[in-house]
A and B are shown apart, each in its own frame.
Chain A
């Protein structure tokens, strides 16, 4: 039982390059999320998917797109990376409102844009 798996763990991009961060969960959770973590800023929600087939913007969606490929997988795409997107990205999942034990986070992707 792996929980939430993110790939890659580290990535360096040049400004303007694109990439996709992958996330998969094996807990049969309905909801999945992408957060970014910056020093002194806590965790900020980029996009979320309440259930398979739906996605919605969070607090800081500009510059990102997402795809909920199926119930297990939720990917985050940077179409044209900018230095301001240098951050640690966490994927998380939960089994829905009022139940379960909150969120389970992946191990994170440390992204540097130069």
Chain B
């Protein structure tokens, strides 16, 4: 089955700096790659996603890039703010986000230092 590796497990950045979280996946048939943000004690919430026919997608301070050849994708957060502190999960799916379920990375704890 699919295997998703996520790095780093913890990332500490100064407020205002950029943060980058990287994921690799094993199954070249995967075609849907979402990112979730989970604040302490709360549910994961989708923040951005990308499909395999797109190389990059942006939404305000957040962007995701996908390299299908290398089978890796990354989350970029610019101008980080205290409210960005959370655990971020990447995921991959063969069915485009539908029936078979997502395979998640183990998460990155992002800490924004004031």
Contacts and interface: CB of A to CB of B under 8 A. Distances in A.
A43 interface: yes
Size category of the binding interface on chain A? 20 to 34
Interface residues of B, number: 26
A48 B100 CA distance: 7
Contacts of A108: 43
A45 B98 contact: no
Contact of A42 (B97, B98, B101, B105): B105
Nearest to B34: A102
B46 A101 contact: yes
Contacts of B97: 94, 97-98, 100, 102-103
A98 B101 contact: no
B73 interface: no
B96 A90 contact: no
B43 A31 contact: no
Contacts of B89: 42-43
B25 interface: no
